Amino acid sequence: MAMSILKLRNLSAFKSAANSARIGVSSRGFSKLAEGTDITSAAPGVSLQKARSWDEGVSSKFSTTPLSDIFKGKKVVIFGLPGAYTGVCSQQHVPSYKNHIDKFKAKGIDSVICVSVNDPFAINGWAEKLGAKDAIEFYGDFDGKFHKSLGLDKDLSAALLGPRSERWSAYVEDGKVKAVNVEEAPSDFKVTGAEVILGQI
């Protein structure tokens, strides 16, 4: 009973955070990410951090990956989520892409990418726990600059998460956005799953 109450309170806090954030700037209304957007131009000078262990980070001198290396000349499906180890992200969002990876490959997709406002070391441990690293490429957006540049940042302080991102997905071809979906609230999982984006490719 106590655990059920705790889960209910956590879910309520997450939804409260989403609702309170809507009172401010609506990410859908102000998002720079839309069909036809060049994602690398929309986030100039921004790079992401490939998921890795701390030792791998040290050996790579904490290198980052420019967006051009991720998107240019490639067909990419990318999805963003509020955070590693959180409920919907772990139980529904990542598994939906992991379970459909063969369908993406059949459609000629070069890479399926998950990005979150986390450091690359935390997201690496999470990806390993989910058993998804062989199917999905995971990247951290440790300072949130990528999501801020695209107008997809979200304050989830009410859920003790601080500055995070919307829950979203996009199909990007040679850097150009061909389709994009953003949930009404980050606790929702209605339009950003693998099945939806597969139908848009």
Query: Which residues are catalytically annotated?
Result: 89
CA distance 67 to 175: 9
Strand partners, 49: 140
CA distances from 145 to 9, 94, 149 (A): 30, 22, 6
Which two structure tokens, joined as six digits, stand for 63? Answer: 């290198």
Which two structure tokens, joined as six digits, stand for 60? Answer: 């790579």
Backbone torsions φ then ψ of 3, nearest 5 degrees: -65, -40
Name residue, tokens 């304050």: 155
Task: Check if the beta carbon of residue 21 is closer than 8 Å to that of residue 155.
Answer: yes
Q: Is 162 exposed, middle or buried (0-12, 13-18, 19+ CB in 10 A)?
A: exposed
CA dihedral 122, 125, 126, 131 (to 10 degrees): 160
